[in-house]
Each structure stands twice: as C-alpha cells, then as structure tokens.
C-alpha cells in the first residue's frame, strides 16, 4: 500500500484533490455526510461521574478510614449510641461533599459549553459560521485575526498571516504562515510553516485553510 505524502509537502491544489474538496468549499450535503462519517471535530471527553461514584469517593481518605474503624470498635464494645453518632457525621460529611462536587462538575460542564468557539467556512461558495465541532476534513476555513484555528489545516491562501504559538512554544511573536509547499525532510518537532495546528490563534492577517484532520 502506498503511503500518502504528508499534506505539508503537497501543493494546495494537491491537498484539495486528495480531500475531494474545492476552493469554493464543500456543499452543505457533503459536509453533513462527512460529519456523520468522521464525527464531530473535538477531543474525546471522559464520562461524567455519577452521584453514587461521587458519594463513595468522599470516603477515600485516611482520616475517614480511621473514624470508620473507631466507630466499628466502639459498636463492638457496646457503645451503640456513640458509634451511630460517628456514622451519622460521616454520612452527613459525605452528603455535603457530594453536593459540592456535583455543583462544581455541573459548573465546569456549563463553562465548557459557554466557551465553545466558532469557525468561518466556505460551503458552496458562501461563508458560513459554524461551531468548531462541525468542521470536517476538506472544509475551506476562513481565518481572521484573533480567531482560533479550529483544526489541523493546510494554508491555501494567505495575506500577512501569523500564528500565535505562545501557549505551545513560549515565543512572544507570531509565527508566519504561507501557502508554499515544503519538500524538505524534517525531524520530529520541526516547524511546518505552511500548516496550522488546531488550538492555536491567528495574531494577524487573513487566510484560507483546507482542514485535513479533526481533533478527535
């Protein structure tokens, strides 16, 4: 089986052909089909803990183990009232902890939904704003200054495009990006100045990208 060359070594025309896309973008029907085929463009999320799991987790503490053992010993020597008081306090503490942790979990989920970002894509030659999670391989992404790159993509047109990679590399200035294909072999970690990775932000200019890899 012939292995496909990395997209950063191909020209914009070759990338569009490989992804069966067009400079006018995918049609609405094709984008919907690819979304069903590849799934949403987002990282997998762990399943939220259920209430029983959160409740039982409140007892995972050395101090709780000591109190439970003490309550069991007190009950064994006949001090039933004292042991029941200890058990009641432990149950009350676990209930309060469960409520607080459950609220924190719900707040975190709400914040994740609140900070969901949008992407501008071409669909049938028209610019549409969609959720980042709805971008698919082959989408033509229009990137403006300050916008987040929604997925790994190949630059097919750019004007003074710079990508802010400070969160990943610590560089204070933006890194320039262009549409030229790069045919040199690169070691792991080398820069690819004609591609943009999902999660980074544009610090200047305007560009069109062809998305080729989701973040899932």
Higher pLDDT, 182 or 16: 16
Residue with tokens 């669909």: 123
Instruction: Give the residues across from 128 on adjacent strands.
Output: 121
For residue 146, is it left (φ>0), alpha (ψ between -120 and 50) or beta? left
| Residue 31 covered by a domain | yes
Same domain, 57 and 35: no
Same domain, 133 and 186: yes
pTM: 0.58
Task: Report whether pLDDT(188) > 80.
Answer: no
Task: Report whether pLDDT(18) > 50.
Answer: yes
Q: What's the CATH code of the domain at 179? A: 2.70.150.10
Give the three-class secondary structure for 117. coil
Q: Residue 206: what are its φ and ψ, rounded to 5°?
A: -140, 145
Continuous segment of H or E residues that includes residue 140: strand 140-143
* pLDDT tens readout for residues 68-109: 899 889 888 888 898 899 999 999 999 999 999 988 888 888
Angle (CA) 45-47-51 rounded to 5° is 145
Residue 194 contacts residue 178 (beta carbons within 8 Å): yes
Give the domain extent around 81.
Answer: 51-114
Same domain, 162 and 173: yes
Q: How many helices (H) and strands (E) does the chain have?
A: 6, 7
Look at the alpha carbons of 39, 41, 43, 48 in this order and tell me if their dihedral is positive or negative.
negative
The domain boundary, picked from 87, 114, 141, lies at 114
Task: Report whether pLDDT(192) > 80.
Answer: no
Same domain, 107 and 61: yes
Same domain, 133 and 154: yes
Give the model's pLDDT for residue 171: 63
Same domain, 208 and 132: yes
| Residue 1 covered by a domain | no
For residue 205, is it left (φ>0), alpha (ψ between -120 and 50) or beta? left
Token duo for residue 39: 């799934």
CA distance 216 to 205: 28
- Over residues 183-195, the mean pLDDT reads 35
Same domain, 32 and 136: yes
| Residue 129 covered by a domain | yes
Residue 176 contacts residue 137 (beta carbons within 8 Å): no
| Residue 149 covered by a domain | yes
- Over residues 116-138, the mean pLDDT reads 86
Residue 101 contacts residue 54 (beta carbons within 8 Å): yes
The domain boundary, picked from 114, 137, 167, lies at 114
């Amino acid at each position: 089986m012939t292995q496909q060359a990395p997209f950063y070594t191909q020209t914009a025309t070759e990338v569009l052909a490989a992804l069966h896309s067009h400079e006018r973008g995918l049609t609405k029907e094709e984008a919907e089909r690819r979304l069903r085929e590849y799934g949403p463009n987002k990282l997998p999320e762990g399943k939220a803990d259920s209430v029983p799991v959160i409740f039982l987790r409140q007892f995972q503490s050395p101090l709780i183990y000591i109190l439970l053992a003490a309550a069991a010993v007190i009950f064994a020597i006949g001090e039933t009232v004292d042991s029941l008081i200890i058990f009641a306090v432990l149950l009350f503490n676990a209930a309060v902890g469960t409520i607080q942790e459950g609220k924190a979990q719900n707040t975190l989920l709400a914040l994740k939904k609140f900070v969901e970002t949008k992407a501008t894509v071409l669909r049938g030659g028209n610019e549409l704003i969609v959720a980042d999670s709805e971008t698919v391989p082959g989408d033509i992404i229009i990137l403006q200054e300050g916008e987040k790159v929604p997925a790994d993509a190949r630059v097919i047109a750019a004007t003074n495009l710079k990508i802010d990679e400070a969160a990943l590399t610590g560089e204070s200035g933006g890194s320039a990006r262009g549409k030229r294909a790069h045919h040199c072999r690169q070691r792991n970690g080398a820069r690819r100045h004609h591609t943009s990775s999902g999660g980074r932000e544009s610090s200047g200019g305007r560009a069109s990208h062809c998305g080729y890899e989701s973040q899932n």
